[in-house]
Amino acid sequence: MSATTDQTGGERDSADLAQFGYQQELKRGLGTFSSFAVAFSYISPSTGIFTLFALGLITIGGDLIWTWPIVALGQFIIALNFAEVSSHYPIAGSVFQWTKYLANRTYAWFSGWIYLFAGILTVTSVVATIPLALIPALNGLGWHGLGLTLHTELVVALIILVIITVLNIYGVRLVAIINNTGVLFEILGMVVFALIMIAFHNHQGFKVVNEHPGLHISANTFFVGMFMSLFVIYGFDTASTLSEETRDPRRAAPKAVLYSIVGAFVIGGVFLLGTLMAIPNMHQAITGNGGFGFGPAQIIEANFSPAFATIYLLVVSAAIFVCCLSIMAATIRLCFGMSRDNQLPFSKVLSKVAPSLHTPVWSCVAIAVVAAIPFIQFSGAAIIAIAATGMIYFAYFVGGLAILMARLKGWPKTSAPFKLGRWGVLVNVVGLAYGAAMLINFAWPRAASNPTPTQSGVLHLGFLNGIPILWTVFVVIVLIGGIYYGVVGRSKDFAPVVAPAGDDAPLVV
C-alpha cells in the first residue's frame, strides 16, 4: 500500500484510489463478507441450476454432476489469475481496468465493451429465470391463474427488472444488506433442502451419477451438458468490480473472488446431488414436460407437500432475486468505470454520481433499459443465458490474454497482498487453455446450445434466421462497438492511466 500507516482505513483506501487518478465518490460500505456475498450472489448456484438443469438432464442424465467439478476447477484457475490482478488494481471496472493498465487503449475499450454487454445479457437472463421458481411458488400460495407461459414469464421478469433497478439506485449499502441476508438464506436453504432430499426422498441412490436411460453419452453431449455448470460459475470478479466500495480492497477482493467459487462449488454440488437423487423416475424426468425435461421445480413438487414445496420455491426465488441485484450492481460499476474514463456514449451523464445516494443513477437506468431490449422477442431464459455466458467467457479470455502478455514482459515487478509468484505464468496459461476450449464449446453450432432462430422455435430475425444465435449476438455487439469506437470513441479524451507510487507502472502503449 502506498498510503501512510497513520491514516484510518477509509482514508487509506481513498488515498490509494486517488493515486490512480480517481476521487472517492462511491461509498465504501462493504466488508470482506459483503464482498464475498456479492460475488457469491452473482454466481448463485440456485439460479444457474434452475435455468439450465433440464438442458443438462435431457442431454446426459445423471452424468450432469460430473461437469460441476470440471467447470469449478477451470474457473478457479482463472479466478487465481484475476485475484492477483485485483490486488494490484482495486478499481471499479474489472476486465476493462485491468486491460487498461496492462495492454493498450483500443484493447481495453473492446474488452470493456464486450464485458459490459455480457453483463447486461446476464441481467436479462437472470431476471428471466426468477419466474421459473416464483410462478410455481405463487401457484402454491393459491394464485392459480399464473402459468409458465412466455407471456407470464415476460411480465414477471420486467417487474423484477424495475425493482432491482430502484434498489440499486438507492445504494450499495442497501443492496449489501438485502444481499447478505439472501446469501444466508440461499446457503442454508440449498444445503438443508438438499440434505432432506438425500435423507428422506432418495429415489435414485448414489448410482444416479451414472444413470442416463435412453441417452447416448459422447464427448459432444457431455460438452452440451456442461452448459448448466458453465452458466453458474462465473461472475466471481464482481468482488473486484466493487473494489471502490470495499474496505481494504487489495486484501478483501482477492479473498472474496476465491471464496465465492469454493462456496458455490460446495453448496451447489450438494444441492445438485440431492436434486438428482430425488428424481422419482429418471426416464420420465428426461422425457417429460413436453420433451424439455424436468427442472428442479418439478422435482421438488414431486417430493414435497404443496406447502413445503412452496416454501422452498420462495427461498429459491429470493436467492435468484439477490443474484439479480448483484449482477446489476456489478454491471452498473463497469458502466460507471468506463464512463468516468469518457469511453461510452453519454459518458458525462452516465458517470455522474448522485451526492446523497452515492450511486451513478443514470448508469443504473441505462443498464436496465438495455437489459430490457432482448424482451422485445422473448425466447425464454435458457437461450439468453447461453448467449450471456458465451460473451462473459470471451471477455474473461481477452482479459486473461492481456494479463499473460504483461507477465511475459515482466509484470508484476512489485508485490501485492495476493500474489502467485513464480506460478503466475503457468496459472495464466492453463486458465487460457481452459477458456479457449469452452469458447469453442459455446460457439459450436448445435440446436441444443447454440441454435439458429429457426431452431429455437420462438425467435424470428429475418435474414439471420439460419445463423447460430451466439454468432449473431457477438457480431452485432462487436460491430456496433467498432463503428462507435472508429467514428467517435478513439478521438475522445482518455483518462490518464496512472498507478500509485511503489506499484508497477502501467504497460499501456
b/e burial code for range 10-26 (CB count within 10 A of at least 16 → b): eebbbbbbeebebebbb
DSSP string, 124-179: HHHHTTHHHHHHHHHHHTT-TT--S-HHHHHHHHHHHHHHHHHHHHT-HHHHHHHH
How confident is the model over 214-226, as a mean pLDDT?
91
Under DSSP, is residue 17 helix (H, G, I), strand (E, B) or coil? Answer: helix
Phi, psi angles (nearest 5°) of residue 30: -105, 130
Give me the CATH number covering residue 328.
1.20.1740.10
How confident is the model over 188-197, as a mean pLDDT?
84
Over the stretch 444-467, which tens digit does the pLDDT of each residue have? 999 888 999 999 888 888 899 999
DSSP string, 52-72: HHHHHHHHHGGGGGGHHHHHH
- pLDDT over 90 (residue 188): no
Name the nearest CA neighbour of 490 among 61, 222, 106: 106
Report if residue 186 sits inside a domain.
Answer: yes
pTM score of the predicted model:
0.88
User: What letter represents residue 92's amino acid?
Assistant: A
How confident is the model over 316-342, as a mean pLDDT?
88
Query: Which residues are CB-contacts of 413 (< 8 A; sequence separation ≥ 6)?
Result: 504
Which of 28-37, 79-88, 206-215, 384-393 is predicted with the least confidence, judged by mean pLDDT? 28-37
Report if residue 138 sits inside a domain.
Answer: yes
Report if residue 410 sits inside a domain.
Answer: yes
Report if residue 504 sits inside a domain.
Answer: no
Identify the band that residue 6 occupies on the pLDDT scale cut at 50, 70 and 90: very low
Phi, psi angles (nearest 5°) of residue 452: -80, 160
pLDDT at 9: 62
Query: Which residues are CB-contacts of 117 (< 8 A; sequence separation ≥ 6)?
Result: 370, 391, 477
Report if residue 122 sits inside a domain.
Answer: yes
Q: Which residue has the higher pLDDT, 98 or 8?
A: 98
pLDDT, mean over the chain: 87
Neighbours of 73 (CB within 10 A): 14
How confident is the model over 385-414, as a mean pLDDT?
92
Helices (H), 216-360: 219-225, 227-232, 238-241, 249-277, 282-287, 296-303, 306-340, 347-350
pLDDT at 4: 39
Structure-block grid coordinates of residue 320: 435468484
Phi, psi angles (nearest 5°) of residue 254: -60, -40
Q: Which residue has the higher pLDDT, 178 or 75?
A: 75
Under DSSP, is residue 359 helix (H, G, I), strand (E, B) or coil? Answer: strand
- pLDDT over 60 (residue 7): no
Report if residue 86 sits inside a domain.
Answer: yes
- Residue 354's DSSP bridge partners are 359
pLDDT at 509: 56
Which of 65-69, 199-203, 231-235, 428-432 is predicted with the least confidence, judged by mean pLDDT? 231-235
- Residue 297's DSSP bridge partners are none
By residue range, what is the domain housing residue 323?
34-491
Neighbours of 421 (CB within 10 A): 8
Query: Which residues are CB-contacts of 419 (< 8 A; sequence separation ≥ 6)?
Result: 84, 87, 412
Cis peptide before 412 (omega within 30 of 0): yes
Identify the band that residue 398 occupies on the pLDDT scale cut at 50, 70 and 90: very high
The number of helices, as runs of H, and strands, as runs of E, in the chain is: 22, 0
Pick from 190-204, 266-280, 284-298 the range whose average pLDDT is largest: 266-280
Over the stretch 332-363, which tens digit does the pLDDT of each residue have? 989 998 998 899 999 999 999 888 877 899 99
Instruction: Give the number of domains in the chain.
Output: 1
Q: Which residue has the higher pLDDT, 379 or 295?
A: 295
Query: Which residues are CB-contacts of 477 (< 8 A; sequence separation ≥ 6)?
Result: 113, 114, 117, 391
Q: Please tell me the distance from the alpha carbon of residue 361 to that of residue 368, in angstroms, as a whole number.
A: 11
Percent with pLDDT over 70 in the chain: 96
Over the stretch 470-494, which tens digit does the pLDDT of each residue have? 999 999 999 999 999 999 888 887 7
Q: Which residue has the higher pLDDT, 276 or 308?
A: 276
Report if residue 438 sits inside a domain.
Answer: yes
Identify the band that residue 279 occupies on the pLDDT scale cut at 50, 70 and 90: very high
pLDDT at 2: 41
Q: Which residue has the higher pLDDT, 93 or 311?
A: 311
pLDDT at 24: 83
Name the nearest CA neighbour of 315 among 140, 455, 483, 466: 140
Report if residue 497 sits inside a domain.
Answer: no
Over the stretch 132-187, which tens digit does the pLDDT of each residue have? 889 988 988 888 777 778 888 889 999 999 999 998 888 666 666 776 777 777 78
Name the nearest CA neighbour of 336 among 484, 483, 175, 168: 168
Residues across the chain: 509
Contact (Cβ atoms closer than 8 angstroms) between residue 249 and residue 32: no
